[in-house]
Amino acid sequence: MLRAWSADAVRSAEAALMATLDDEGELMARAAWGLARVCRARLEETGGSRVVVLAGPGNNGADALYAAVHLADEGAECVALQGPWPLAIGDSSSWQEAGVRIVAADGDWRAVLTGADLVLDGVLGIGGRPGLPDEAVAWVDALPPDAYVVAVDLPSGQDPAGEVAHEDAVFADETVTFGVPKPVHVLPATESAVGRLTVVDIGIELEGDPEVERLDFADVPGLWPVPTASDDKYSRGVLGVVAGGESYTGAPVLCCTAAVGAGLGMLRYVGTPAPTALVRASVPEAVIGDGRVQAWVVGPGLDTTSRAAGSKAQLDIARAALASDLPALVDAGGLDLVTGRRDAPTLLTPHAGELARLLNRLGGADSADVTRQQVQASPLAHARRAARLTGATVLLKGATTLVVPPEGTVRSQNDAPPWLATAGAGDVLAGVCGALLAAGLSPLDAGSLGALVHGVAADRANPGGPVRALALAHAIPGTVAHLLTR
């Protein structure tokens, strides 16, 4: 499991460790040495030797300058660009003596930057507010496209808390962070700016709950519900799926195929005539009709406005499911049936547009209209708000999937290839996560584990190429086996 801690928690841990060390510069020395080792390796890989430091006003700039001193000692040509600010440590002459030429804001920094093989972005670190100083915006605009950009601790100008997306900021090829990952490295608003993430150990230890967790493959065997010899179909979990309608007939096929493939004890399907016939034909394991279940999936392909035959009876069961005290996953059309808090374990699985619509419906008359774009620009805050309004855990779909309970640590999964952005993929996700809820997992575990398996299955269904949702659903059982036995 990858764990990311807030800037405040990292500063406290650094202060605690610093208090035990004789030399107050020791941590920065460790950070700079680790950073220099990574840069050295990248220069060797690319055959480059010209390093340009973007030197900000704080300790982030100092880290980059100290690393450049090591690289200069080893033969690299190192130049640092200084803005109209004093450097946190030393002055330009002391750094020049140590082998790093400083070019001031009024110097010919453009020519220097043009020749860079590797750019060390040390403008802002965990002390940064989102956004860049103007001089640094000009540097970033002038970055040569073929230079390898290494961000020190985090891509400068990105929100260290990972809450808000920023276009006017650094997008790095690699980020070298110190001690532990921070939210900026794993949350959807900022993760795409991080590139490859490398963590340098500087000896700090963090306690308590992290801000963000990310499950990795090694977590799957400990969480996945593996049956034992004493289990039967009922003890393994029975899932009820209320999905589809006369106009959306495919969603229940995808959802039910994925759910039985994820290892359910039994599945009950509640639908209208056309999708019921399809489910009967393509998922012969399914038992048709209402009955006792351990959890519900309500909503894939569900049209809450339909007047077609069977729709009213189906909607009555959907509403009863949501009113019950059983765990429920609520997706797509089912989200329109959410009227407020649910006390039983609940996982809502909206995409950005559906989350905006839900917030507008539940937020009350005095709340401003939320748009899909606003949700995409600050996904965590909007998902958290919906979680608090409903008491549910909110799984917000996207290139990075967020799983956000009303309080506490969130999960952020980034396991899927971009090919997975395809119609029907969400129906498959609902089936997998629903199966996990029926087996007794919490909404947080069901959502994050389901997202991981879903992402890996997309890759395994057709490595490196397009994937259709039905192939994804069929890849679920093999993916689970692979993750349990690797």
Residues near ligand NAX, by CB under 6 A? 11, 14, 27-28, 31, 56-60, 63, 88, 124-129, 131, 133, 152-153, 178, 202
- In the complex, minimum distance from the CB of residue 68 to ligand NAX, in angstroms, rounded to a whole number: 14
In the complex with K ion, the residue whose CB is nearer, 126 or 302, is 126
Stretch in the footprint of K ion (CB under 5 A) among 147-155, 175-183, 249-257, 360-368: 147-155
H/E stretch holding 321 reads helix 311-323
> Of 70, 477, 448, 469, whose CA–CA distance to 248 is shortest?
469
Task: Region of 393 please: left (phi>0), alpha (psi -120 to 50) or beta.
Answer: beta
Cβ neighbourhood burial of 47 (10 Å; 0-12, 13-18, 19+): exposed
Residues 6+ apart with CB under 8 A from 47: none
In the complex with ligand NAX, the residue whose CB is nearer, 137 or 381, is 137
In the complex with ligand NAX, the residue whose CB is nearer, 16 or 104, is 16
Residue nearest to ligand NAX (CB): 125
- In the complex, minimum distance from the CB of residue 58 to ligand NAX, in angstroms, rounded to a whole number: 2
Q: Apex CA 130: angle with CA 371 and CA 134, to 5°?
A: 115
Q: Rule CB under 5 A: is residue 335 a binding residue for K ion?
A: no
Q: Which residues are annotated as a binding site for AMP?
A: 397-401, 426
In the complex with K ion, the residue whose CB is nearer, 152 or 279, is 152
Q: Rule CB under 5 A: is residue 59 a binding residue for K ion?
A: no
Using CB distances below 5 to 8 A depending on partner kind, what does residue 63 bind out of ligand NAX, K ion, none?
ligand NAX
Distance CA 93, CA 407 (A): 50
- In the complex, minimum distance from the CB of residue 10 to ligand NAX, in angstroms, rounded to a whole number: 7
Q: At what angle do helices 250-261 and 273-282 cross, to 10 degrees?
A: 40
Q: Which residues are annotated as a binding site for (6S)-NADPHX?
A: 251, 301, 351, 427
Distance CA 200, CA 179 (A): 6
Side-chain-side CA neighbours of 292 within 13 Å: the count stands at 5
Q: Please name the residue that has the structure tokens 């993430």.
A: 197
DSSP 334-362: GGGG--S---S-EEEE--HHHHHHHHHHH
In the complex with K ion, the residue whose CB is nearer, 59 or 390, is 59
Q: Apex CA 186: angle with CA 389 and CA 7, to 5°?
A: 85
Using CB distances below 5 to 8 A depending on partner kind, what does residue 156 bind out of K ion, ligand NAX, none?
K ion
Using CB distances below 5 to 8 A depending on partner kind, what does residue 59 bind out of ligand NAX, K ion, none?
ligand NAX
Using CB distances below 5 to 8 A depending on partner kind, what does residue 27 bind out of ligand NAX, K ion, none?
ligand NAX
DSSP E strands: which ranges in 84-222? Answer: 101-103, 118-122, 148-152, 174-178, 196-200, 212-214
- In the complex, minimum distance from the CB of residue 151 to K ion, in angstroms, rounded to a whole number: 5
Range 66-125, binding K ion (CB under 5 A):
121
Residue nearest to K ion (CB): 156
Using CB distances below 5 to 8 A depending on partner kind, what does residue 263 bind out of ligand NAX, K ion, none?
none
- In the complex, minimum distance from the CB of residue 200 to ligand NAX, in angstroms, rounded to a whole number: 9
Q: Rule CB under 5 A: is residue 152 a binding residue for K ion?
A: yes
Instruction: Report in angstroms the alpha-carbon separations of 263 from 150, 242, 255, 399, 435.
Output: 43, 19, 13, 26, 7
343-361: string of b/e by CB count within 10 Å (b at 16+)?
A: ebbbbbbbbbebbbbbbee
- In the complex, minimum distance from the CB of residue 177 to ligand NAX, in angstroms, rounded to a whole number: 8
Cα dihedral angle (135, 140, 143, 146), rounded to 10 degrees? 160
Stretch in the footprint of K ion (CB under 5 A) among 54-62, 97-105, 309-317, 345-353: 54-62
- In the complex, minimum distance from the CB of residue 164 to ligand NAX, in angstroms, rounded to a whole number: 12
Range 359-418, binding K ion (CB under 5 A):
none
In the complex with ligand NAX, the residue whose CB is nearer, 204 or 473, is 204
- In the complex, minimum distance from the CB of residue 53 to ligand NAX, in angstroms, rounded to a whole number: 13
Q: Rule CB under 5 A: is residue 156 a binding residue for K ion?
A: yes
> Of 276, 318, 317, whose CA–CA distance to 298 is shortest?
318
In the complex with K ion, the residue whose CB is nearer, 52 or 467, is 52
Q: Which residues bind K ion (CB under 5 A)?
A: 60, 121, 151-152, 156
